[in-house]
Amino acid sequence: MDKQEVILSQDLEKSLTKALEKNRHDKLFILTDECTQQYCLPLTNNFCCLANAEHITIGATDTHKTIETLAHVWKQLGDKGGTRHSLMLNLGGGMVTDLGGFAASTFKRGIAYINIPTTLLAMVDASVGGKTGINFNGLKNEVGVFSPARSVLIDTDFLRTLDYENVASGYAEMLKHGLISNTTHWAELLDFDLHDIDYKLLQELVAKSVRIKEDIVGQDPLEHGIRKALNLGHTVGHAFESLALEEGRPHLHGYAVAWGMVCELYLSCIKTGFPQEKMRQTVRFIRDTYGTFAFDCKQYDRLYQFMTHDKKNSSGIINFTLLGEVGDIRINQSATRKEIEEMLDFYRETMG
């Protein structure tokens, strides 16, 4: 898989102009959702390099990350004259970069695309690393391909357009990067004030987070080994997210990942020796920042079933990414049904 060019831009128009010049095309398409069309697209209205672009807009939020939306994008690309030599520009959060990347990678057997992430979640996670896809059959990211963007242009000025919940959602992935990197970075993430944001400091933390993900993806682009470190919190988090969607009470992805990390840090304590005090500090931060996801023991079986569909599993065994310490990554860890139920008990008792 080709290495992505990831640019932390101080001048988005200049960076985008250079990226477009590197990727010659006969037609340029800009994909937005209804939110980024309203709040982010206007910030690019005066860019000369986008003067002749065709626009495609889809519905916002993860409920539109579907095969029907994907087919709509394919149809728009065809109806508006897209060819194998066209270029897609995905301007939006993780749903837009995931679905847009998948649409581009499959239209006419694949056209080039560039990501401009506009949410914190997309900047530090979804837009970097080459994973694309859609939700299908009630499961998160069930269908997709590894296909990296030609360029990822990160401009943290877009973060000023976000509400607290969307900043917090992206921050959960940054906290995960802290847990899999080193104690110093993990500690500075716990100290950051999300209620009174220092955007200059946040930009520096974003840069660190992107470098952590880039380093891991560079070592293992197709997720055969160490890239599974990036799944900390996701085995349980995706189960929470899928249950929430099924019950008509969807939650932002980062919130589900944060709640998933509570569970998987508990498993780390009992199975791989993660320090209890560091678990308590992290859980306290998550509870204070993200609240809780409500469920009862009657839903354990459904959550377990969702976990059995996780893409990291092999031979029917649920696989977790756990930690022995901050930065001490233990991939391909299993747990019994009884341990998983005890983990869910711990979550309900601790998170309230």
**Catalytic option among 64, 65, 72, 131:** 131
Which of 111, 127, 161 finishes a domain? 161
Q: Which of 131, 125, 123 is nearest to 101 (CA)?
A: 131
Distance CA 221, CA 228 (A): 10
- pLDDT at residue 1 above 70? no
SS3 state of residue 139: strand
Residues of the chain with pLDDT > 90: what percent?
A: 93
Of 135, 166, 173, 177, which residue is the catalytic one? Answer: 173
Same domain, 79 and 219: no
Contact between 322 and 268 (Cβ < 8 Å)? yes
Catalytic one of 65, 150, 177, 234: 234
Does 279 share its domain with 321? yes
Q: Is the pLDDT of residue 88 over 80?
A: yes
Catalytic residue, chosen from 64, 65, 253, 278, is: 253
Question: Per-residue confidence at 282, pLDDT binned at 50, 70, 90?
Answer: very high
How many Cβ atoms are within 10 Å of 261's Cβ, its own excluded?
Answer: 26
Is residue 36 located within the same domain as residue 135? Answer: yes
Contact assessment for residue 240 and residue 271, using Cβ atoms and an 8 Å cutoff: no
344 contact partners, CB below 8 Å, separation of at least 6? 263, 295, 297, 300, 303
- For residue 265, pLDDT over 70 is answered with yes
CA–CA distance, 54 with 30 (Å, rounded to integer): 6
- Exactly one of 64, 140, 177, 213 is catalytic; name it: 213
Looking up residue 289, the CATH number of its domain turns out to be: 1.20.1090.10
Among residues 109, 200, 224, 298, which one is catalytic?
A: 109
pLDDT at 287 over 80: yes
Cβ neighbours around 10 below 10 Å, total: 11
Let me know if 234 is a catalytic residue: yes
Are residue 172 and residue 149 in the same domain, yes or no? Answer: no
**315 — pLDDT class (breaks 50, 70, 90):** confident
Known catalytic residue at 227: yes
Which residues, at least 6 apart from 18, have a Cβ–Cβ distance to it below 8 Å?
none
pLDDT average, residue stretch 258-266 = 98
Confidence of residue 161 (pLDDT cuts 50, 70, 90): confident
Output the six-digit token pair for 274: 């993660």
The single residue of 90, 135, 141, 231 carrying the catalytic annotation is 231
Q: Mind listing the pLDDT tens digit for each residue in 329-349?
A: 999 999 999 999 999 999 999
Residue that finishes a domain, picked among 128, 161, 194: 161
Q: Is the pLDDT of residue 143 over 70?
A: yes
Both 197 and 128 in a single domain?
Answer: no
The residue that leads in pLDDT, 5 or 298, is 298
96: enclosing H helix or E strand: helix 94-106
Whether residue 185 is found in the same domain as residue 90: no
- The reply to whether 195 belongs to the active site is no
The yes-or-no answer on residue 231 being catalytic is yes
Q: State whether 131 and 179 are in the same domain.
A: no
5 CB burial (10 A radius; 0-12, 13-18, 19+)? middle
Enumerate residues 6+ apart whose C-beta is below 8 A from 207: 8
Give me the domain span that covers residue 97: 5-161
Mean pLDDT of the region 188-209: 95
Of the candidates 166, 223, 241, 330, the residue annotated as catalytic is 223
Domain count, the chain: 2
224 is catalytic: no
> How many other CB atoms are found less than 10 A from the CB of residue 200?
8
Beta carbons of 73 and 101 less than 8 angstroms apart: no
Q: Check if the beta carbon of residue 111 is closer than 8 Å to that of residue 103.
A: no
Mean pLDDT of the chain: 95
Find the Cα–Cα–Cα–Cα dihedral 97, 189, 176, 306, rounded to 10°: -80
pLDDT level of residue 166 (50, 70, 90 thresholds): very high
Q: How far apart are the first and last CA of the chain?
A: 44
| The one catalytic residue among 140, 176, 228, 238 | 238
Q: Which of 65, 185, 227, 251 is catalytic?
A: 227
Residue 36: which CATH number?
3.40.50.1970
Looking at the fold, whether 127 and 142 belong to one and the same domain comes out as yes
Tens of pLDDT, residues 238-256: 999 999 999 999 999 999 9
49 and 173: one domain? Answer: no
For 41-57, letters b (16+ CB in 10 Å) and e give bebbeeeebbeebbebb
- CA 341 distance to own-chain centroid: 26
187 and 291 part of one domain: yes
Is 318 found in the same domain as 288?
yes
Domain co-membership, 88 together with 111: yes
Per the annotation, the verdict on 223 as an active-site residue is yes
* DSSP one-letter code for 122: I
Which tokens go with 63? 């409920």
Which of 120, 145, 161 terminates a domain? The answer is 161
Q: What residues contact 295, with CB distance under 8 A and at least 6 apart?
A: 240, 243, 303, 344, 348
